[in-house]
């Protein structure tokens, strides 16, 4: 279960604790999310990363379907900022 974070720092600490992920990857992901997602960023909220799976909370069922349809494009767009493809899949998070 994911909890809500009040600051970006709390989010990074949580990711590092839960998944042992380097904080620079989370910082990069957070920094490029709005840029890469454009208008969709309003409808998709990052909730976590675990073992290469990016969890995103869609704002509606239509946004969830759009996320599913664009998942390949989103993966390529985000992974281009990392030396090695880090994000392997995207899943909609209900909570």
Q: Has this prediction a pTM greater than 0.75?
A: no
Residue 75, burial from CB neighbour count under 10 angstroms (0-12, 13-18, 19+): middle
Q: Identify the CATH assignment for 8-92 out of 3.30.70, 3.40.190, 3.30.300, 3.90.1530.
A: 3.30.300
Residue 52 neighbours by CB under 8 Å, 6+ apart: 86, 87, 88, 89
- The domains of the chain are located at 8-92
- Tens of pLDDT, residue by residue over 16-57, are 555 555 557 888 888 888 888 989 989 999 988 888 999 999
Q: Give the model's pLDDT for residue 7.
A: 63
Sole residue written with tokens 């909609």? 92
- Tens of pLDDT, residue by residue over 49-90, are 888 999 999 999 999 999 999 999 999 999 998 888 889 999
At 84, is the secondary structure helix, strand, or coil?
coil
Q: Give the model's pLDDT for residue 16.
A: 54
Read off the pLDDT band of 10 (50, 70, 90): low
Q: Give the model's pLDDT for residue 82.
A: 85
């Amino acid at each position: 279960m994911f909890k809500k974070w009040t600051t970006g720092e709390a989010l990074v600490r949580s990711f590092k604790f839960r998944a042992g992920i380097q904080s620079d990857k989370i910082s990069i992901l957070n920094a490029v999310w709005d840029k890469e997602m454009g208008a969709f960023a309003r409808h998709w909220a990052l909730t976590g990363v675990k073992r290469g799976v990016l969890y995103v909370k869609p704002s509606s069922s239509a946004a969830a379907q759009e996320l599913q349809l664009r998942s390949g494009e989103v993966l390529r767009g985000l992974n281009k900022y990392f030396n090695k493809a880090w994000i392997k899949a995207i899943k909609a998070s209900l909570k």
